[in-house]
Chain A
Amino acid sequence: MATAISGHGQVLEPAHDDGAGHGDDHGHEEHHASMGVNTIKLLMWTFIASECLLFGTLIAAFLAYFNHGIGPHPHEVYDIPYTSVSAFVLLLSSLTMVLALAAAQSNDQRQLRIWLVATALLGMVFIGGQFFEFTTFKTHEHVWIDTNQFGSTFFLLTGFHGAHVTLGVVWLLSLWMYSLRRGIPPSKSMFVEVAGLYWHFVDVVWIVIFTVVYLAPTALQH
């Protein structure tokens, strides 16, 4: 039976491939998308939804444990002004990320490189700040990952976030190197946009962590 479904005739849509083809010209085509959202972008959004549960579980463990058992407890070790500055640095990087995407979309390669590197640098400053904070907590406040429940939950959660920032920095620098070698035309700005989605997500998580993990336990003690 020859039917519309099984019919063989002109072959239309290409099968899709997963965001490959940085390397060649015909690799990145606009794909058929039933929902109207680019498939790679949808993948990133879905991934972010899943990541929320990773961070959510860590934050839940922190809330269950931060005042549990032996000390030191959060309010005894936090340096809120210091962490506020590093939180501000990370939030600033969201602005530079937006500027990078805008440059990519308007095909301004110079601006794109500047803002990609700026975003990565701000991320590195944040990571450096976290490294210093961890060292201070360990040497001066005598709280480390194996000290007590607060230490375990705090360092696993913020360390996990720090690993996310580090991954983001590597990703941004990879994009920067790619733009140096071949340039990222507006047709490929999707790759900057997806990296940006990830970066903004990591920033937003930090807002939650800063509020729930840093500010709330401190406020509760006053």
Chain B
Amino acid sequence: MATTTQAPPRVIRRPAAAPTGIWSWLTTVDHKRIGYLYGGSSFILFLLGGLDALMIRLQLGKPVNELVNPSTYNGLVTMHATTMIFMALMPMTVAFFNFIVPLQIGARDVAFPRLNAFSFWTFLIGAVVMNSSWLLRAAPNAGWYGYSPLTSKVYSPELNTDFWIVGLQILGVATLAGALNFFVTIINMRAPGMSLMRMPMFCWTTLITTVLMLLAFPVFTIALTQLLFDRHFGTTFFDTTRGADPLLWQHVFWVFGHPEVYILILPAFGVVSEILPVFSRKPLFGYAAMVLATAGIAFLAFGVWAHHMFVTGIGPVGNTFFALSTMLIAVPTGVKIFNWIGTIYGGSVNLRPPALFAIGFVAMFIIGGLSGVMHGSPPVDTQHNDSYFVVAHIHYVLFGGTMLGLFAAIHYWWPKFSGTMLNDKLAYATFWLMMLGFNVTFFPMHFLGVAGMPRRMSVYPTGTGWDFWNIVATGGAFLLAASVWLFIMNAIYSLRRGEPAGNDPWDGATLEWAIASPPPVYNFAKVPTITARDAFWVEKRANEAAEKLGLPVRTPVAVSPDPVIQKVHMPNTSFWPLVAGVGVSMIFSGFLTPFFLGFVPTITVLGIIVLIISVYGWSYEPAG
């Protein structure tokens, strides 16, 4: 670990308990440790979701394949999407919120450290509950958007859909708690002088993503609750045989579902907006326009949901409105893309691995964005709907977009997490293999879609003309898997014998590069005062200029040689967040077991008791 440079004076002590051992991880409230936990767990879940994908591709490798039966295939498709969206991509972006945002705004921690730990444990338990369905042969199998009536007791009599509801409810609680925390953190915990319009772009996209989470997830929570009541208490929200409106679920789901895709992509936009300036040696082009474009996308995100429902016959007025609002979203998105190009243009571009991933992101996202605009047109969408063309589109925006953005983030911030550099050669190999594998997998799906291959089809007959592109896509999927494997090798190599990174390997513009890698538990020994955007760049350049002119270099440490150094007041560790997470998970998991006397969900009642105890324990715990 390269903490050699600028080690803090020894008098600064952390009052908390021993910094190692499993107990310290179970009770940690340190945003950086929670970032590691989020990052590690979400990466493992990303591999699990990838495994689902490889199984799907193997099954579709040839016509009339009998590798997996249709029922398992439905589980694979549903769990691939659910895992990737809710348990891999979102928590991986949350890992970066955790690790990076407090550092970038010059804070010691998030606003509510224990709530932060609660979010993580709740997420982890939710992911475990959801995936345990495989062991009971009851994996959710009604598709990731669970259209009614597929989720009703009639068509899903076993636990499959219950696992889906329960898992998503637990994950939803984690998401809401995390979003509340990061919204308040960014609004209220900024260092002096860090005005909103001086914040790094990643903090802006995080802020706006949390707003989307806070406003979109409750809608889904209610929809899932209604479904849960339909399945367990005989309500009639979605039961069409008893007079329910067949479209209610679709409307409510997509009112959540479309903002959800921006929840997935906006953090990646932020990452790329951090990386491109650093590697182009230029400030971000059009910062204010970028902020407004992000806010504009988030605003419009709530007015486009019915473009997922053009074929349900919502009528010409609805179709027109939602077609126009959908195409309108291309405007702020286009602003972003031109700003990224403007940032690179005329810069002295240094194509280190993070920059390559970021540029790869821009290129692939443009393809996904363009097919997205195509879907905004109702007649075109009617042709594409439920075909592999849509599958190609979603993977260009979520893998080519979010996932490449996250790989850019991993390569960019890895030195800050670990204190060691990733190997550049391996990283280049990862990048090119990933680009190749990704395009070979997903580009042919455009052709398959246009040729009429429906999505979610487990077996296709011979003579359809789909055989060739399917085997190509299957081959591509394995190239993609190999690129992920290369990255894992690189990570292990870096942790074992990577070069020490030092504080600032990329000559970064933002505050996280001003402190040691990995950062000390209190982050900033002295809370910084911010005078400009790209604060760390401005300070470095000012000091270099001062040195050149023989002027005194600004060193406030020397200016205030106060011998009385107070201890840094850090919050104590706590096990109540974990207990509360268990309580919340039990409340929902009660619907997976038979009810006591037919109407008392025993585990739910026990979970409420556990939650009450933990809330009191939490409230009365000394702050330390």
Chain A interface helix/strand/loop/mixed: loop
Segment from B41-49, B235-243, B336-344, B403-411 that makes contact with A: B235-243
Tell me whether A153 is interfacial, beta carbon within 8 Å.
yes
Q: Which of B223-243 contact A (CB under 8 A)?
A: 223, 225-226, 229, 233-237, 242-243
Q: Which of A9, A17, A65, A151 counts the most chain B CB atoms within 10 A?
A: A17
| B184 pairs with A3, CB closer than 8 A | no
For A53, the closest partner residue in chain B by CB is B218
Contacts of B80 in A (CB 8 A): none
How far apart are the CA atoms of A72 and B556 in the complex, in Å?
75
For A4, the closest partner residue in chain B by CB is B556
| A49 pairs with B252, CB closer than 8 A | no
Determine which of B115, B511, B515, B568 lies in contact with A11 in the assembled complex, contact meaning CB atoms within 8 Å.
B568
| B180 pairs with A47, CB closer than 8 A | yes
| A20 pairs with B621, CB closer than 8 A | yes
How many residues belonging to A are interface residues under a CB distance threshold of 8 Å? 62
| B187 pairs with A34, CB closer than 8 A | yes
Determine which of A3, A11, A146, A174 lies in contact with B234 in the assembled complex, contact meaning CB atoms within 8 Å.
A146
| B620 pairs with A152, CB closer than 8 A | no
| B245 pairs with A65, CB closer than 8 A | yes
| A9 pairs with B187, CB closer than 8 A | no
Q: Which of B548-566 contact A (CB under 8 A)?
A: 553-558, 560-562, 564-566
Tell me whether B194 is interfacial, beta carbon within 8 Å.
yes
| A13 pairs with B527, CB closer than 8 A | yes
Tell me whether B40 is interfacial, beta carbon within 8 Å.
no
For B111, the closest partner residue in chain A by CB is A39
For A20, the closest partner residue in chain B by CB is B623
Tell me whether A68 is interfacial, beta carbon within 8 Å.
yes
Contacts of A57 in B (CB 8 A): 218-219, 222-223, 252, 255
| A32 pairs with B215, CB closer than 8 A | no
A35 to chain B, nearest CB (A): 5
| A12 pairs with B111, CB closer than 8 A | no
Determine which of A5, A8, A64 lies in contact with B536 in the assembled complex, contact meaning CB atoms within 8 Å.
A5
Tell me whether A81 is interfacial, beta carbon within 8 Å.
no
How far apart are the CA atoms of A130 and B22 in the complex, in Å?
48
Contacts of A80 in B (CB 8 A): none
Q: Which of B411-459 contact A (CB under 8 A)?
A: none
Determine which of B184, B194, B222 lies in contact with A54 in the assembled complex, contact meaning CB atoms within 8 Å.
B222
Contacts of A39 in B (CB 8 A): 111-112, 184, 188-189
B51 to chain A, nearest CB (A): 34
Contacts of A149 in B (CB 8 A): 236-237, 243-244
For A51, the closest partner residue in chain B by CB is B218
Tell me whether B114 is interfacial, beta carbon within 8 Å.
yes
For B536, the closest partner residue in chain A by CB is A5
| A17 pairs with B243, CB closer than 8 A | no
| A145 pairs with B235, CB closer than 8 A | yes
Known: A1-B543, A18-B115. A49 touches B215 (CB 8 A): yes
Taken residue by residue from 121 to 139, chain A's Cβ proximity to chain B (1 for < 8 Å, 0 otherwise) reads as: 0000000000000000000
| B623 pairs with A32, CB closer than 8 A | no
How far apart are the CA atoms of A148 and B245 in the complex, in Å?
12
Contacts of B527 in A (CB 8 A): 12-13
Taken residue by residue from 168 to 201, chain B's Cβ proximity to chain A (1 for < 8 Å, 0 otherwise) reads as: 0000000010011101100111100010000000
Determine which of B526, B564, B569, B618 lies in contact with A8 in the assembled complex, contact meaning CB atoms within 8 Å.
B526
Determine which of B9, B180, B226 lies in contact with A46 in the assembled complex, contact meaning CB atoms within 8 Å.
B180
Q: A42-B184, A57-B252 are in contact. List 8 more A-B contacts (CB 8 A).
A: A8-B557, A14-B108, A15-B570, A17-B571, A43-B111, A50-B214, A61-B226, A156-B225
Sample (21) of A-B pairs whose CB atoms are under 8 Å apart = A1-B543, A2-B558, A3-B514, A6-B515, A6-B525, A9-B556, A12-B527, A15-B109, A16-B571, A18-B571, A20-B622, A27-B622, A28-B623, A34-B188, A39-B188, A42-B188, A50-B218, A54-B218, A69-B243, A146-B234, A148-B242
Closest A-B pairs by Cβ, 8 of them: A14-B569, A69-B243, A146-B234, A18-B112, A27-B623, A15-B108, A53-B218, A152-B235
